[in-house]
Structure formats: structure tokens, C-alpha cells
A = this chain, B = another copy of it.
Amino acid sequence: MAVRGELEWIAQLRRSAPRTGGALRLGIGDDCAVLRPPAGHDVLVTTDFSLDGVHFRRDWHPAHSAGHRCLARGLSDLAAMGARPMAAFLSLALPRGLRKTAAGRRWVDGFLAGLLTLAERTGTPLAGGDTATAPGEQVLADIVLLGSAPRGTELRRSGARAGDGIYVTGALGGAAAELEMLSHRPSRFRTAVADGTHPHLFPVPRLAVGSQLRRRGLATACIDLSDGLATDLQHLCKESGVGALVDADMFPHHPLLQRQSPEQAHTMALRGGEDYELLFTAARTARVPKRIAGVPVTRVGVITFGSGVLIDQASVRKEQQAKLREALQGGGWEHDL
């Protein structure tokens, strides 16, 4: 099979991508794409790297998963602000030799298929981007998402107030748990598909939840869980000028955490990251339903005055108290409880 040149590769992308439709007035093939947002809407923009060896590993992640995750990262940012996707732009640099091997071409085709499947499922046309030869041996991708939301209605990180409840969608820690399994036996995941049971390989951006939160005016602030609850809640608190108290016993643990030790499960739910669930705050008086757009919603804490995030956990408190009793009886004390 002949080596595909850059032009053929762009032509392939172009065939996969709609030329116009929805907000897209002009797609791949000119100096810029042209978009027309719905009347009275603002434009939301987010960009995210997906770098081989940093955000995914070609020896671990099936190509479909790498492509899906690349787009999902950006869609999740749109979801967190309650925006609807308008278009995606993919900048993709491939190592020089990659498309010279059948396996390499399969990888690239799989990556694109994974990305385009999620794009179609979420109504996100691929409207352009850039291609280049990568300077090293790693695949380098950067995804840009444009979305729209009615003027001034987008969900921000900065609106949380003391007394607001803190909520998360779906389940926590599943991505970290699946990543650990992947690292031990990548071959087991070769044929995994985006069926909603792979929190790490095929995360589901919460677009419908974000959109409903915005439309119903339920959330005072919102952020997506990309870095882990502990870190992302800190971001939200910093932007809002508030503190937070969360109870780790209330965290909705992902079923995959059942295979972990309690300590490990706690850490994965709190700090695992890449769950791409939404974390939002709502006024004390708001009636937050148990499910939004079919996704479970769980209250995990409360916004406080001051700053910083305190993690409370009754089970740890009990353990500490038991150890304290033992220590007092035995005359010793472990400082690092």
C-alpha cells in the first residue's frame, strides 16, 4: 500500500467532515472556518492538548479511546459551562514513519474514528484544524471546541456562595481505577468500546446535565472533574472566593472501586481525576433532583466562608479515635494518622 501524503490525509479528514450545516457556514478547505452562532448567543472556546506519553500512551490506549478522549476533554469543558457544541478543530502532528506501516495507519484511522464517532454522537462537526509532521516519535494532538450559550447565561466557576450545597454527577474514581487496570494488562482493553462502562477509556461528557443546569438556573457555579475533586473544587472555591467542606463518606464511588482497598478507593475518588463528571454548587434553598438528564446527582458537602477545602470522613474520624484510645492506653502516638 502506498504511503499516504499530507494532501491525501487532509482529503481523508475533509471527506469525514461536513462542509456546512448547523452553525457551520464553511468547513475544511479555506484559510479559516466560518461559524454563525445562534442569534443572541455567546461563543465559548476551549483548547486541550492530547499528547502521546502525557495524556495517553500508544502502548496502552486503543486508538479509538485516544481519539474519543481527545474530543471528550473539550466537550466536558463546554458541558461545565452549560454550552452546546458548535464545532471542533483538530491539530494533529504524526511522527514521520507512522503512516508508512499498516499498524501505524490503523492507529491513525482508529484515532480519527474514535473522535468522529463521539463527534457525531454529540452533534459536533469537525470543522478544521492543522496537520504537521511531529518533531519526535510521539503523536501530538490539540483539540479546540467552540460552543454557544444564550448571552450571559453560561455557568461559571465564580458564583458559589457560603451555604450553597456541593453536588457531583455520576460516580467518582472510576477513571483512576480503570487506568490502573489498563496499566497492568493493556491487552485486555484492546476491544473496549464506548458503551458507557469504561470511565477512563471512553468517558461520557455531561453535556445534557450542563445544559439542564443552565436552563433551569439551578447551579450557582460549575466545573468539570478533570484534575480530581480535591483540585477542581479548590479551583472553583478560589474563583468564587469561598471555602468548602466535603464529606468523603458521601462520595458516589464508581463500581470499579470495589476492587480497591478502602484507602485506595478514597484516594481515587478524591484525587483520581479524568472522571469528567460535573461538580456544581446550588443555593441552600434550591431543590436539586436526584437525577438530571438521567444522570445521578449526589450532594457531597457545603460551601463555607473563608478559603480552602476541608475533607471530612466519619470513618476516618472513628479510626483516628480508636487509634487515639489505643495510643493513650499504650502510651504512644503516631503523628501521621
Residues of chain A having any CB pair with chain B under 8 Å: 25-26, 29-37, 42-49, 51-55, 77-78, 80-81, 83, 87, 89, 91, 93, 127-130, 132-138, 140, 142, 144-147, 151, 154, 156-158, 222-224, 239
Contacts and interface: CB of A to CB of B under 8 A. Distances in A.
A49 B93 contact: yes
Contact of A45 (B80, B127, B158): B127
A32 B83 contact: yes
* 8 closest Cβ pairs, A-B complex: A53-B135, A136-B136, A142-B142, A32-B44, A31-B80, A31-B77, A32-B46, A35-B43
Contacts of A133: 54
A238 to B, nearest CB: 9
A30 B142 contact: no
Given A127-B45, A140-B140, A156 B30 contact: yes
Contacts of A93: 49, 51, 54, 140
Contacts of A134: 51, 54
Contacts of A77: 31-32
A59 to B, nearest CB: 13
Given A31-B78, A49-B93, 7 more contacts: A30-B157, A34-B44, A35-B44, A49-B142, A53-B136, A135-B136, A144-B144
Contacts of A146: 43, 45
Contacts of A129: 47
A276 to B, nearest CB: 11
Contacts of A223: 31
Given A31-B223, A80-B31, A54 B144 contact: no
A133 B54 CA distance: 7
A46 B45 CA distance: 13
A135 B54 contact: yes
Contacts of A156: 26, 30
A142 B51 CA distance: 12
15 contacts: A26-B154, A26-B156, A30-B157, A31-B157, A34-B44, A35-B44, A35-B45, A36-B43, A37-B37, A45-B89, A51-B134, A91-B142, A135-B136, A136-B138, A142-B142
Contacts of A53: 135-136
A29 B127 CA distance: 26
A49 B132 contact: yes
B29 A239 contact: yes
A78 B32 contact: yes
A144 B45 contact: yes
